Amino acid sequence: MGKRMLEVTGLHAYYGKSHILHGVDAHIGEGEIVALLGRNGVGRSTMAKAILGMVKAEGSVKFRGEEILGRRTFEIAHLGIGYVPENRDIFPTLTVRQNLLLGEKRNPRQPKPRWSVEDMFNMFPRLRERENTAAGVLSGGEQQMLTLCRTLMGDPDLVLIDEPTEGLAPMIVALVGDYLKTLKERGVSVLLIEQKLAIALDISQRVYVMGHGHIVFEGTPGELKANSQIRKEWLEV
């Protein structure tokens, strides 16, 4: 594995007085796809928000060796971390194309932009058909595709993606799987928060399982597949 992109050490997070993360350690290598699994309510989304400076947190979060904990969300985004939140995040009155162009940002570390609007339409042909349609009238699945694509237009080096396949039809889940494979091919690092074990095991190189604000398992997809005790205790419902 190459250099560390992200290194989280002893991370605690809070909403007011509720203490949600209790010392999380995790890392993501350059170009690595890492899945973060766990049951609902264990703190996976909170971990993404803590990395992005969106909740009160303590500990350390280093991006390319630089401490980012305590910095503001827009500064963190500018360093090259993209975020696809769990709720679909679009501008409803703007068209699909306008939404994509609004997400466009140059990454100073890339000699040329890694992604074009055309790449997005090739990954999700449905978005091309809806190019001039107001995003607010798209279906839930189409809005999810648009959210995934808008984040890529910012040319991030690392993307935190929170439950991208939640509530989607199997055909769209498969397209999201292809999208993640394309990110891998182009060397983008990913933290994939998922509920669906199959997708996470298929796409990621390493897996974390979170339980009650702690990491309870770290290993390869193969190791998680072989560990029925961890799956029973922390994943299966």
Ligand X SMILES: Nc1ncnc2c1ncn2[C@@H]1O[C@H](COP(=O)(O)OP(=O)(O)O)[C@@H](O)[C@H]1O
Of 6, 20, 31, 45, the one binding Mg ion (CB under 5 A) is 45
Choosing among ligand X, Mg ion, none, which partner's interface includes residue 15 (Cβ < 5 to 8 Å by kind)?
A: ligand X
CB atoms < 10 A from the CB of 64, how many? 16
Among 1, 2, 10, 15, binds ligand X (CB under 6 A): 15
Longest dimension (CA), the chain: 50
Q: Binds 204, which of Mg ion, ligand X, none (CB < 5 to 8 A, cut-off by type)?
A: none
Paired tokens of 93: 């009155």
Report in angstroms how near the CB of residue 163 gets to ligand X at its nearest. Answer: 8
User: Segment 20-59, which members bind ligand X (CB under 6 A)?
Assistant: 20, 38, 40-46
165 binds Mg ion, rule: CB under 5 A: no
Distance CA 113, CA 41 (A): 37
d(Cα 92, Cα 217) in Å, to the nearest integer? 39
The stretch among 41-49, 57-65, 147-155, 216-224 that binds Mg ion (CB under 5 A) is 41-49
Residue 45 CB, nearest approach to Mg ion (Å): 3
Q: Please, which residue, 94 or 197, has the CB nearer to ligand X? A: 197
Instruction: Indicate the residue type of 197.
Output: L
Q: CA–CA separation, 89 vs 147, rounded Å?
A: 6
Cβ-Cβ contacts under 8 Å for 26 (sequence gap 6 or more): 6, 8, 34, 36, 47, 208, 215, 218
Stretch that binds Mg ion, among 44-52, 133-141, 153-161, 226-234 (CB under 5 A): 44-52
Nearest residue (CB) to Mg ion, 53 versus 80: 53
Q: For residues 8 and 138, which CB has a smaller minimum distance to ligand X in the complex?
A: 8
Q: Return the one option of ligand X, Mg ion, none that residue 38 interacts with (CB less than 5 to 8 A, by type).
A: ligand X
Query: Is 82 among the residues that bind ligand X (CB under 6 A)?
Result: no
Binding site for Mg ion (CB under 5 A): 45
Binding site for ligand X (CB under 6 A): 15, 18, 20, 38, 40-46
